[in-house]
Structure 1
Amino acid sequence: MDSNNVSDTTNTGPLVTAHSLPPDQISPKSLILRVFQLKNVARRNWKLLLILIALGAVGGFIYDSLNKTRTTYTGTIMFNLGGGSTSGGFGGDLGQLAGAFGLGSGAPDASIFSGDNFLIYAKSRPVVEKTLMKTDTINGKDTLLINYYIRHSGIRDKEWEDNDTLRAFYFNRPKKPAEYNKLERSAMAAIYGRIQGEISVTQPERKSSFMELGCFMEDEQLTATFLTTHLKTIEEDYQAKQTKKTSEMLTVLESRADSIAGLLSGTENKLARYMDQNQQVVVAQAKIQENRLTRNSTFLTSIYYQAVQSAENMRLSLIRETPLFTIIEPVSLPLYMEVLKPGGLQIGLALGLVLGIIIVFLRESYRSIMRGN
């Protein structure tokens, strides 16, 4: 009986199990021991860490020496796009004109750009190339913008540093893409690839119709000139595309009016000659011919007036459909200047530290394994 009591009271196994910590927790004693272990690890490997950090710093310093500090100038233009009246089909005067030509309703909408499509369109290569191929007055001289970009953007000293042919390259005149030779296509591709990262078209507020064209380049005058010229190019190209259908119909109407005017003039001349030749003639056959010419002349006159009126209505419709670009905030000098340093030294220090920690971890793990064996 006593022995059983003694055994029950001296069995501390359940008590020890009850007070032991869960496997996912660390006791204060274990934490202190680990801190001392880390201290010992650092004491054994501080020279290795220092050497690796120093090597990283040297590598970063060399990188900074080879890559110069870059200065950029940032400018923006805020504008509003609106004023063009477009609809899903031809309405009003346009509907009547379309019916006269047998087009009927259901013609496609002239507005092919909507929403975010315009943001993509404004940075597209065809529009950028049109901008670069424009001539502008820079520092008092008429200069082809793409040649000014080649000289002042930094592309010759960076992307074309090892290519003597491209370093000496320039365009002798404005050209269309179909007129480029092989070297010009290569140069334009490199220039557009660089400009893609230098310009942006954004909408500051989703509920607003305002747009913002931004650009940062290594020359202040280049940045300001490119922004102004590019917005003008966007306006011209956008208006031409938005009013393409109406412009084509206007061309047809003007051609039709000219043709009717030619027929009317010929008929009137024939009638005048016939009347001069048959003033005293009272034969019925002659009167029939005179009446026929008079009727044709009257009919052609009526049609000609209708064609002229239709062409004039189409011109008014073209004006109504033309989008209006209103500059809210123009680009203003001086532009915001930012000095961009390579940052190789900081990156080298960080890489050296990370590499040192990894090597020390592998080294200590190997020492622990060998000690266990």
Structure 2
Amino acid sequence: MEGKPVSAQMEVQENEISLKDLVGYLKGEVKYLKSRWLVILGIGVVAALLGFAYALVKKTTYTAISTFVLEDGSKGGGLGQYAGLASLAGIDIGGGGGGGIFQGDNILELYKSRLMIEKTLLTPVVIDGKQQLLIDRYITSNNLLEKWKKGDNISTITFTGSPGNFSRKQDSIITDLTNKFNEKMLSVVKLDKKLSIIKVEVSTTDELFSKVFNSKLVETVNNFYAQTKTKKSYQNVQVLQKQADSVKNVLGSAITGVASAMDAAPNANPAMSTLRVPSQKRQVDVQASSAIYSEIVKNLEISKIALRQETPLIQVIDEPVLPLPASKVSKLKGMLMGFILGVVIVSLFLVGKRVIKQIMA
């Protein structure tokens, strides 16, 4: 059996020596840390006390959770049989819509948009028997006005009125709150990419605010979604309804004209055809108006079907119910986490300081 090449044997020996050196080095560092156990223990105790203080100061967080299923109504379905008839009348019933601006996961981003969060914050609600805007409730429960007095010299602020007339400071506050919600307090996800179930979570230190804000946000976004999806079909229905009402009035006038013309010559001489001309003209108007009205009504009903077909089905599955799930750092957990973190940090600091000292020597 042939032996290993000399170079290979030297490499193995070097590796073995390096491993031994490493183990020896680690043992030396551990021994050094043991010699400084009193310092490490002291820092650990201080960190544990800081963790205890953090647990005392840290407020309880309440999480409101809503889930709902979204079924898009823009698939066309039974509208195919009406498409040909509607196209003859020059009407786009929108049955083959396709995606639109809310296709895919865009609705998730809609929940995080400034517009939706602003609309929700400016919603008047009744909490604890008091009617107020949600944004006022949030400012009060988080003592923001006191912070603004010190930092921004804002002693009072109101958010009543139209958002379009807000001042620069009001817009700035809403923008800051929108960013804060998106970063820390609001979560919108699909439970499964293959399903249409959406989960909305809102976490704040105010239990009632979390519950109401969650419910109002879901309501605001879903209403906006449904109205925008059906806007085109709704406009078609409105136009056709106006046309139907207008033609119906014309038809009523024509029928009244026929009756008036016949009353003007109730016993017309059959030999005098000119006496029947006014009533016959009115009769033509009645027939023409009746045909037009019939077609418009038919197209109006088709457009109403399209509107119902395009209206998305949004069914809430779970709503936030009091008491909400609470998240609180316990005192024991705070102390334990503080102690471990303190020991790790001071150990790394001591080892790093020793290594630097050895290198500089």
- Indicate whether the TM-score tops 0.5: yes
Instruction: Give the match for residue 262 of structure 1.
Output: 249
Which of 178, 193, 203 aligns to 1:192? It is 178
Q: Distance in 1 between matches of 2:308 and 2:152?
A: 50
Matched, 1:317 2:303: no
One-letter code of the match for 1:116?
D
Which of 147, 152, 158 aligns to 1:170? It is 158
CA contact (8 A) 2:122 2:135 kept: yes
Q: How far 1:295 moved relative to its partner?
A: 0.8
Q: Distance in 2 between matches of 1:32 and 1:318?
A: 76
CA contact (8 A) 1:156 1:166 kept: no
Q: How far 1:46 moved relative to its partner?
A: 4.6
Instruction: Give the match for residue 297 of structure 2.
Output: 308
- State the SS of the aligned residue for 1:206: coil
Q: How far 1:333 moved relative to its partner?
A: 1.5
Instruction: Give the match for residue 193 of structure 2.
Output: 206
Inter-CA distance 125–207: structure 2 relative to 1 (3 Å threshold): same
Q: How far 1:279 moved relative to its partner?
A: 4.1
Give the share of equivalent positions with the same residue, in percent: 24
Instruction: Give the match for residue 3 of structure 1.
Output: none
Instruction: Give the match for residue 351 of structure 2.
Output: 357
| Cα distance per residue 1:233-262 (max 9 Å; x no partner) | 122111111211210110111111122123
CA contact (8 A) 1:79 1:327 kept: yes
Q: Distance in 1 between matches of 2:17 and 2:146?
A: 56
Instruction: Give the match for residue 24 of structure 1.
Output: 15
| Cα distance per residue 1:179-211 (max 9 Å; x no partner) | 322222112111111111311122223333322
Inter-CA distance 163–297: structure 2 relative to 1 (3 Å threshold): farther
Inter-CA distance 149–290: structure 2 relative to 1 (3 Å threshold): same
Matched, 1:156 2:147: no
Matches within 5 A, 1:327-346: 327-340=316-329
Instruction: Give the match for residue 4 of structure 1.
Output: none
One-letter code of the match for 1:238?
Y
Which of 91, 97, 115 aligns to 2:80? It is 91
Instruction: Give the match for residue 113 of structure 1.
Output: 102
Matches within 5 A, 1:274-313: 274-279=261-266, 283-313=272-302
Q: How far 1:70 moved relative to its partner?
A: 2.7
Question: Which entry has the higher C-alpha Rg, 1 or 2?
Answer: 1
Q: Distance in 2 between matches of 1:363 and 1:171?
A: 60
TM-score computed with the length of structure 2 as normaliser: 0.78
* Alignment RMSD (CA, Å): 4.2
CA contact (8 A) 2:86 2:302 kept: no
CA contact (8 A) 1:56 1:352 kept: no
Inter-CA distance 99–125: structure 2 relative to 1 (3 Å threshold): farther
TM-score computed with the length of structure 1 as normaliser: 0.76
Matched, 1:222 2:209: yes
Q: Normalized per residue, which structure has more helix?
A: 2
Matched, 1:182 2:182: no
Query: Higher mean Cα deviation, 89-98 or 213-222?
Result: 89-98
Matches within 5 A, 1:2-81: 22-26=13-17, 30=21, 34=25, 38=29, 46=36, 50=39, 54=43, 61=50, 68-81=57-70
Matched, 1:132 2:126: no
- State the SS of the aligned residue for 2:80: coil
Q: Distance in 2 between matches of 1:83 and 1:29?
A: 67
Q: Which runs of 5+ in 2 are unaligned?
A: none
Inter-CA distance 223–302: structure 2 relative to 1 (3 Å threshold): same
| Cα distance per residue 1:303-333 (max 9 Å; x no partner) | 2233234323433432232222222222222
